[in-house]
Amino acid sequence: MINLMLTSCTTETPSGAGAPGSSAQVSSAHVAAELYDGLGARQATISPKFLYDALGSKLFEAICELPEYYPTRTEAGIFERHAGEIAHACGVGTTLIDLGAGNCAKAAALFPLLRPAQYVAVDISTDFVSEALARLRLRFPHIEMQALGLDFSSGLALPDSVRRERRLFFYPGSSLGNFTPPEARSFLTRLRKGCGPDGALLIGIDLAKDKAVLDAAYDDALGVTAAFNLNVLRHVNRLLGSDFDIPAWRHVGFYNEAAGRVEMHLEAKRAQRVRWPGGGRDFAAGERIHTENSYKYRQADAIGLLEQSGFEATRVWTDPHCPFAVIHAQAIA
Ligand code: TRP
């Protein structure tokens, strides 16, 4: 597993340690190698996890406030309307493991009803999640909490400090859609192994819907999504010492109906060469770097995916107006 402490120490740290902008920051050969591989591929890619440096995490918070970006609001509505039933399905006293916790707000909203025995906030952006947890501890001093800065997409080795009993993985925000379906299956299978026989999963999955709604959600009028996507180039420049010229790129986000996914790309506005220490690449005008997919499932397919991964969907809550599912799934043998 790659521990992306690197990501956090290259962002603006209050101590000033690890000056941003220095390529000497690349202390993890894995991270650099992954970026080089993606940028060198015929169809260039940058892994979506690099979207979430400190600024990226803030821009994503802003996306969640946009009128066009329905997933956060829709899911929050479901959690709010069905909080009692959801808490009942999960039970009190769980070991709540929040995957991609960010500002921890979604889990915190459930604390009063869910009353977890332990809360474990996992996020790739270590500083961001640690700060959020520090604030949360003041609000819920009786809940044992810990922050873990790790890239759980590549592995899920939890430290011994995480309780083994009644693990409840919390995976909201439809992030499962950011894996391809086979990747989603192996990720869920890993969660199934990680939660043990008495474990469960509480997951939010966005469902297929109107193309116009999806196109707008991933390419908003204010350009916040564009800024979020473009920020990945800033982050890569800092990690690799590359010289991506950000104004020379544009955000492209659209629903590819045939593939059942929203695709996010960065498109070169003009032909250009991007350099990094020891290499570089020419991009033609119109050439794209793929940054993320967001698969939109049909409800039956989402439940099928869970079953193939060792989980049984015990409850499904949806929104009457906007297709989105919150699912409680129990580990099966
Ligand atoms: N996980 C989010 C989603 O799929 C991430 C996201 C929203 C995103 N807008 C984006 C990623 C734009 C890249 C570009 O909904």
**Which ligand 1 atom is nearest residue 229's CA?**
14
DSSP β-ladder status, 261-268 and 249-256: antiparallel
Which of 213, 294, 296 most suits a substitution to test ligand 1, by most atoms within 8 Å of the C-beta? 294
Kindly indicate the confidence band of residue 28, based on its pLDDT and cuts at 50, 70 and 90: confident
Whether the CB of 123 sits within 6 Å of ligand 1 = no
**Which ligand 1 atom is nearest residue 173's CA?**
1
Q: What is the pLDDT of residue 39?
A: 97
Residue 325 in any domain: the answer is yes
What is the pTM (predicted TM-score) of this model?
0.86
Q: Which domain holds residue 72?
A: 1-246+297-333
- Gap from CA of 104 to ligand 1 centroid (Å): 18
| Model confidence at 22: pLDDT above 80 | no
Kindly indicate the confidence band of residue 219, based on its pLDDT and cuts at 50, 70 and 90: very high
Pick the residue whose CA is nearest to atom 3 on ligand 1.
Answer: 294
Mean pLDDT for the chain overall: 91
**Which ligand 1 atom is nearest residue 178's CA?**
4
* CA 297 to centroid of chain Cα atoms: 17
Give yes or no for a contact between 201 and 169, defined as CB atoms under 8 angstroms apart.
yes
The DSSP secondary-structure symbol of 176 reads G
Whether the CB of 225 sits within 6 Å of ligand 1 = yes
Residue 105 in any domain: the answer is yes
Residue 278 in any domain: the answer is no
- Gap from CA of 294 to ligand 1 centroid (Å): 7
Q: What is the pLDDT of residue 229?
A: 98
CATH number of the structural domain spanning residue 227? 3.40.50.150
The number of distinct structural domains making up the chain is: 1
Residue 282 in any domain: the answer is no
| Model confidence at 2: pLDDT above 70 | no
Residue 281 in any domain: the answer is no
Q: What is the pLDDT of residue 12?
A: 29
How many angstroms separate the CA atoms of 165 and 280, rounded?
Answer: 49
Determine the straight-line distance between the first and last CA of the chain, rounded to whole angstroms: 26
DSSP lists the bridge partners of residue 97 as 120, 169
- Gap from CA of 231 to ligand 1 centroid (Å): 13
Look at 35-39, 87-91, 154-158, 299-303 and tell me which has the smallest mean pLDDT: 154-158
Whether the CB of 218 sits within 6 Å of ligand 1 = yes
Whether the CB of 228 sits within 6 Å of ligand 1 = yes
**Which ligand 1 atom is nearest residue 218's CA?**
9
Kindly indicate the confidence band of residue 140, based on its pLDDT and cuts at 50, 70 and 90: very high
Q: If you average pLDDT over residues 321-332, what whole number do you get?
A: 98
| Model confidence at 64: pLDDT above 80 | yes
- Gap from CA of 17 to ligand 1 centroid (Å): 30
User: Residue 61, Cβ neighbours under 10 Å: how many?
Assistant: 16
How many angstroms separate the CA atoms of 313 and 212, rounded?
Answer: 30
Structure tokens at 157: 């080795």
Residue 253 in any domain: the answer is no
- Write b or e for each residue in 3-35: b if 16 or more Cβ atoms lie within 10 A of its Cβ, otherwise e: bbbbbbbbbeeeeeebebeeeebbebeebbebb
Phi then psi dihedrals of residue 173, to 5 deg: 80, 10
Kindly indicate the confidence band of residue 153, based on its pLDDT and cuts at 50, 70 and 90: confident
Residue 200 in any domain: the answer is yes
Residue 50 in any domain: the answer is yes
- Gap from CA of 244 to ligand 1 centroid (Å): 21
Per-residue pLDDT tens over the stretch 70-87:
999 999 999 999 999 999
